[in-house]
């Protein structure tokens, strides 16, 4: 079996995403890259019920390589991010797409998630909301790629959900958890007042202390 370890890791992350409520039912998808091959979760299957053999393998151009099940409909978005994004000079190695509650709320109402907490810098700064397009389409893939430009590690998709990348699958998963936490803080803060947004100067001081990723553009 090609990418046996990577496919096993996808199943583990799928169970964690379901357990933490970042996905429900068969929503969301995950992929991990190894060289020119990508293991991705299958379409239409609950992520907490997958076995390694359920996860198909495609090449970086999207051609089927191995597996009995069809890859997720969002595979074009994953492949677009592998092509376009880099972390510390290397291509991204994992993508996690969620339908988390607070992420969906922000993605339905905002054009970006403002930096209300300095941990926003761990995701590359202000999280953009990609323009709406039908799921699984080249248009959505391009909109997400645009929203992730400039060293971003996360984006929201209008009226849809969120997507994060990482140097490995664990990092992409943790970035998804952080994105949902930041969205949750913002939504909850709005119920008691207008959240205070950190200024560029305040963020720059945090960057100077080394919190931001090494490839983060200095503000």
Sheet hosting strand 94-98, strand order edge to edge: 64-66, 57-59, 37-40, 29-34, 94-98, 161-166, 154-157, 127-130, 112-113
Residue with tokens 């379409």: 43
In this structure, the strands spanning 127-130 and 154-157 are parallel
Separation of alpha carbons 78 and 172, rounded Å = 12
Among the listed residues 1, 19, 3, the one whose alpha carbon sits nearest the alpha carbon of residue 173: 19
| β-bridge partners, 58 | 38, 64
**Length of the chain in terms of residues written:** 219
| Active-site residue, selected from the candidate residues 6, 51, 66, 74 | 74
Among the listed residues 113, 78, 92, the one whose alpha carbon sits nearest the alpha carbon of residue 34: 92
Rounded (10°) CA dihedral 146, 150, 154, 158: -30
Separation of alpha carbons 85 and 83, rounded Å = 6
Q: Clarify whether 208 is annotated catalytic.
A: no
Separation of alpha carbons 158 and 140, rounded Å = 10
Please give the positions annotated as active site.
74
């Amino acid at each position: 079996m090609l990418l046996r370890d990577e496919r096993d890791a996808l199943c583990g992350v799928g169970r964690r995403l379901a357990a933490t409520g970042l996905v429900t039912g068969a929503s969301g998808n995950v992929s991990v890259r190894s060289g020119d091959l990508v293991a991705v979760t299958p379409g239409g299957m609950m992520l907490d019920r997958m076995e390694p053999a359920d996860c198909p393998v495609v090449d970086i151009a999207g051609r089927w390589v191995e597996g009995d099940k069809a890859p997720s409909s969002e595979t074009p978005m994953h492949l677009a991010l592998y092509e376009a994004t880099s972390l510390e000079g290397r291509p991204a190695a994992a993508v996690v797409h969620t339908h988390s509650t607070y992420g969906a709320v922000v993605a339905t109402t905002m054009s970006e998630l403002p930096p209300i907490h300095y941990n926003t810098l761990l995701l590359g700064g202000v999280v953009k909301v990609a323009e709406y397009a039908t799921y699984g389409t080249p248009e959505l893939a391009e909109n997400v790629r645009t929203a992730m430009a400039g060293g971003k590690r996360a984006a929201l998709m209008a009226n849809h959900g969120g997507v994060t990348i990482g140097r490995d699958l664990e990092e992409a998963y943790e970035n998804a958890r952080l994105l949902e936490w930041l969205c949750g803080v913002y939504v909850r803060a709005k119920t008691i007042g207008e959240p205070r947004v950190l200024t560029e100067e305040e963020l720059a001081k945090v960057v100077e202390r080394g919190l931001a990723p090494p490839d983060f553009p200095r503000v």
